[in-house]
Amino acid sequence: RQASYDCWLQYEKIRDHEYYNQYVAYSRGIAVVGDSPILKSALDELERGLFSMFGQKSTVYNEAAKEASIIAGTFESIPLEDYGLNKASLINMNEEGYLLKAVKDEEKIIVAAKSDKGVLYAVHHLLRLLQLRESLKQVNIVESPKNQLRMLNQWDNMDGSVERGYSGQSIFYENHKITTNLERIKDYARLLSSIGINAISINNVNVWKVETKLITNDFLPDVAKIADILRAYGIKTFLSINFASPIEIDGLQTADPLDPDVKTWWKNKVEEIYRYIPDFGGFVVKADSEHRPGPFSYDRNHADGANLLAEALEPFGGLVIWRCFVYNCLQDWRDRSTDRARAAYDHFKPLDGDFLDNVILQIKNGPMDFQVREPVSPLFGALEKTNQMMEFQVAQEYTGQQKDLCFLVPLWKEVLEFDTYAKGEGSKVKNIVNGSLFNDKFSGICAVSNIGNDENWTGNTLAQANLYGYGRLIWNPDLTSEEIAEEWIRSTFGQDPSVVEQIKQMLLDSWSIYENYTAPLGVGWMVNPHHHYGPNIDGYEYSVWGTYHFADRDGIGVDRTIETGTGYAGQYYSPNKEMYNNLETCPDELLLFFHHVPYTYKLKSGKTVIQHIYDTHFKGAEQVEELIEKWNGLRGKIDEIRFVNVSERFQLQLKNAKEWRDQVNTYFYRKSGIADENNRTIY
């Protein structure tokens, strides 16, 4: 098996004597007390990691034996007092939290948690400390995840394809069946549990014909097998469902959420699902969105639709995760008053408070669709009486499709740190999605996954950093991008400081580089329709999708102001509302998202808009050449397979960046007739 397959769980042999001697005694005897499936996974991972790093098998005890140096278990199962630990002091920890502590003159490490899941997370943390060469001598860590649901959405179809997948085929399905390669799913579960993911929906939000039947006994026995594997790693299984299921599965006349037969149908259906999967997580629902069926067909609203399913799931503790990606996808480009950016807020704000307790609204981070730069969705903060969660996209649909390098943690951090002012200063998005600001019963973060059946999971090996970074960031949004990048590199490529520094810089620069050579100043899109890779400035300009830049010979941008535009800026709380609405205070990077300005408009940087476009596009392409040079400097310092994989991707990125540079610059030169101040080549 190639190193790239193991991602950040390399557990490379510790060759440095200093560290080896410091750690090795801990690895000789280990105890994991208890034998639930999750604790078995914890023991498995611990044995595997230690064996691989120290080259010797640990002796395993199933009780807190004197001889064991690492002792893991729940608070109930290990004698905390014997190690001078006091349970009462750990009471603030949440259900998934844990303690890692050196005791008995630093000779033993206690790995203790409230739940089995916490033990598994703690074991991963311990192994991470070893991979990062942290000292264990005085280790004393009390840790709890900051978000409740930490979820991934697979956009996998049962024919084996992955919607917006850039790394091969699905690991879950082939030929309209559930895969028989359950080993790979187990390996995925290992990766996910190591970064704290605790929920996953295993099929595409667009639920097609065969997938609609995932909730029937045609497939439930096999879904249950997947759920069994994931459960042993602390991960709950969810399914995306088709709102029209009663019609499509059992030939009912209607799927009207208020129809008594439809209600009964869902109740029976849910009961059936729980017979196969007793801890089933619930449903993810894309309804009345991009031609998927929903309550609108029956003149009902989204609360009616979501509550129908919520009532059926409630007796079993299941959740409805209802997506807010609802907008008119048959817009007339001539119509300047309709604004797709407004849609989520306009649809869902009026329903605030109408959803049942076990419904969570899933909101994309921006109001459009995972562009390289968007403002934060104004729905965050606007919903005061409704459970809500964030939706990110780890898959790089609009950010280079895992050919181009784009480390997304800094983008996600900006979103989570955004202050909505919903309850005055300090009402940050991270405090909304962790449930604290509005005291939500259920909350969290989910994201579209970026993996497929490629040997290295993510196509571009460096895209593994996004999956790792996503998990780590949503576990603790206060980690910095630098910390996360460094953890990932050291666990993935080892300790050589020159490798660590070089790759870290590359990752941290990459989002801004990608933004430089693609769509400028927050305007977005300008991509090839359908597949969304590469430039096409007018690709979506005269389409039905509501994604326009409105460039003419005089200027560019979308007027979303309150006075003369679509009024979108008014969906924010003050002072964000005024900041975006006012040309003078709108940040440069979002200028064209909120305003239509002449090419000669001067940015806060002192440059005109047109000169900014030229400069960033020349610079972006040059920066890609620099990335390639930096990567070439690593040849021989990392294994050849991973080196070559990334090199090949960089060649594609360079081609892409040049194409973007030349098409964007040429387009705007031809539109505006304004020459580049530096006389560089524009076609």
236-241 and 282-285 strand pairing: parallel
Render 448-516 in DSSP notation, one character per residue.
E----SSTTSSSSGGGHHHHHHHHHHHH-TTS-HHHHHHHHHHHHH-S-HHHHHHHHHHHHHHHHHHHH
Cis peptide bond N-terminal to 575, omega within 30: yes
CB of 199 to ligand GCU, least distance (A): 18
Spatial contact of 645 and 456, defined as CB atoms under 8 Å apart = yes
CB of 329 to ligand GCU, least distance (A): 9
Q: Is 240 helix (H, G, I), strand (E, B) or coil?
A: strand
Closer CB to ligand GCU, residue 54 or residue 155?
155
CB of 153 to ligand GCU, least distance (A): 9
In the residue annotation, 397 being an active-site residue is answered as: yes
CA separation for the pair 220, 272 (Å, rounded): 9
Which residue, 151, 118, 147, 363, is CA-closest to 237?
151
In the residue annotation, 369 being an active-site residue is answered as: yes
Which residue, 278, 291, 304, 169, is CA-closest to 242?
291
The b-or-e profile of 125-147 (16+ CB within 10 A means b, else e) is bbbbbbbeeeebeebeeebbbbb
CB of 205 to ligand GCU, least distance (A): 5
Of 187, 397, 440, 487, catalytic: 397
β strands within 539-665, DSSP E: 555-556, 597-598
The b-or-e profile of 454-490 (16+ CB within 10 A means b, else e) is bebbbbbbbbbbbbbbbbbbbbebebebeebbbbbbb
Identify residue 488 by its one-letter amino acid code.
W
Bridge partner list, 390: 363, 445
CB of 526 to ligand GCU, least distance (A): 15
Question: Helices 260-276 and 220-231: crossing angle, nearest 10°?
Answer: 50
Spatial contact of 277 and 239, defined as CB atoms under 8 Å apart = no
Closer CB to ligand GCU, residue 159 or residue 163?
163
Closer CB to ligand GCU, residue 286 or residue 472?
286
Closer CB to ligand GCU, residue 532 or residue 661?
532
Residues that bind ligand GCU (CB under 6 A): 163-164, 205-206, 286, 290, 325, 369, 397
140-143 and 98-103 strand pairing: antiparallel
CB of 436 to ligand GCU, least distance (A): 27
Considering only CA atoms, give the Rg of the chain. 26
CA separation for the pair 575, 286 (Å, rounded): 33
Bridge partner list, 113: 74, 98
CA separation for the pair 309, 263 (Å, rounded): 8
Task: Quote the Cα angle for 215-220-222, to 5°.
Answer: 140
Closer CB to ligand GCU, residue 163 or residue 304?
163
Alpha-carbon distances of 300 from 225, 282, 306, 360, 368, rounded to whole Å: 36, 22, 11, 18, 24
CB of 544 to ligand GCU, least distance (A): 13
The b-or-e profile of 423-434 (16+ CB within 10 A means b, else e) is eeeebbbbbbbb
CA separation for the pair 399, 404 (Å, rounded): 7
Of 290, 335, 640, 677, catalytic: 290
The b-or-e profile of 311-343 (16+ CB within 10 A means b, else e) is bbbbebebbbbbbbbbbeeebebeeeeebbbbb
Closer CB to ligand GCU, residue 293 or residue 435?
293
The residues carrying an active-site annotation are: 290, 369, 397
